[in-house]
Amino acid sequence: MHSNETLLMSYDFFNDSVINNWSTLVFNITSSYENTIFRHPILYVIAIYAASLVVIGTIGNLLTIFVLIRPKLRCQTTMRYLTAAAVADLCTLYSWNLNLFYKHMINSYQNDIEDLSLSKCRLISFLAFTSLQLSSWYLMLVSFDRAMNICFLFWKKDLGKPHNSMYIILIITIGIILLNSHLLFINGFAERNCSPYGKQTCIKCYKRLTDYRYVFPKWEKVHLIVYNLIPFTVMSICNIFIIYQTLIVTKRQTTSSRNRSTKHRIRKQRQLTTTLILITFLFIILTIPAMIYHVFLRHLFEKKKPLKYILQGILLCIQFTSHAINFFVYCFTASNFRKEMVTLFCLHRNEQRQQQLQQHHELRDE
């Protein structure tokens, strides 16, 4: 049920003004701009799309994990990094992306999940920043490892071995968790002598009592460097190098040898390169718009809440799409991934049949 303010108040998107319909005739309501509730069809579409990303992304990332940890794939260093990326992608979908659905479809006052309690504020903010950064760094490791394998012979025999990749993943994970750990302890505060009413809440998330710019924009700048700038730079350099080397090697091998095994190896290498480049390319393309907005345009929309809600929602949906679609990229570009997925489902069906036969035999014996 909506409050009286919600029922009587609407927003003029074109004139950037609040229209208080019949309020002077029925109630004496005075609402500040900050506490205005904005409704728009685009916001509902954004919320539904965000919820669909949670469902599709959860199923896709879980399937990705189950397929990549199969014996034939988990013995490869690249697949271990991609497994770690899938776990991080799964976590990202349950932070700010899920909040879009809650804010515009569930909560009557368009409050965030973080506003429910101080513990939720700190946990969600930590999960959001940490999982996004881990996802981008794991993808960066994929490109970096592939480039090192091509450039240095010792890499694959030493640092690039699968068991070493687990230590690298652990170091990166601990480092980023420690980097964002302050969000679990000092992010947000609860206002004293405060009574929540309507859109007004007593939890001030992403702020400190002594610093209202603690997370946005101060920590956000650090996040953009860790999440965007460093991985983008490394991925771009590595991918350019990988493409260049792959083209040279492919040209040499196709002109010097026509052996079937050589052609098969070339095809597999090209397929893996295509998959990795497409994943990193989609990640860069889908996350750059949000980065540009937060760095250059965000301050322009501070006093235009409706447009800010719509623009931020659209950019967040684009950004989180990159964390939900990798499963489909693997299915489309990687034949070994498809084969392992088919094998996984076939094994599951065979197990079900064996269980049914066993139950049938037990019933007959009785």
Q: Write down the H helix ranges in the chain.
A: 4-8, 23-26, 41-68, 71-74, 77-92, 96-101, 118-151, 153-157, 162-180, 220-224, 230-256, 260-292, 305-321, 326-333, 335-365
Query: What value does the mean pLDDT take over residues 182-207?
Result: 89
DSSP secondary structure letters along 24-40:
HHH------GGG-----
**pTM of the prediction?**
0.84
Task: Provide, rounded to the nearest whole percent, the portion of the chain with pLDDT above 90.
Answer: 53
Query: What value does the mean pLDDT take over residues 14-37?
Result: 43
Tell me the β-bridge partners of 11.
18
Name 70's Cβ contacts closer than 8 Å, sequence gap at least 6: 340, 343, 344
Structure confidence at residue 39 (pLDDT): 79
- The model's pLDDT over 44-62, given as tens digits with 9 standing for 90+, comes to 999 999 999 999 999 999 9
Structure confidence at residue 68 (pLDDT): 95
Q: Give the Cα separation of 234 and 232 in Å (integer).
A: 6
Compute φ and ψ for 12, nearest 5 degrees. Answer: -90, 105
Q: Give the Cα separation of 10 and 253 in Å (integer).
A: 67
Structure confidence at residue 355 (pLDDT): 62
- The model's pLDDT over 99-122, given as tens digits with 9 standing for 90+, comes to 999 999 998 888 999 999 999 999
Task: Provide, rounded to the nearest whole percent, the portion of the chain with pLDDT above 70.
Answer: 81
Query: What value does the mean pLDDT take over residues 239-247?
Result: 86
Cβ contact 296:217 at 8 Å: no
How does residue 286 score in pLDDT terms, banded at 50, 70 and 90? Answer: very high
Kindly report which listed range (15-24, 72-81, 86-95, 223-232) carries the lowest average pLDDT score. Answer: 15-24
Q: Give the Cα separation of 2 and 39 in Å (integer).
A: 12
Nearest C-alpha neighbor of 327 from the set 335, 336, 337: 337
Q: Give the Cα separation of 278 and 272 in Å (integer).
A: 10
Q: Could you check whether the bond before residue 217 is cis, i.e. omega within 30 degrees of 0?
A: yes
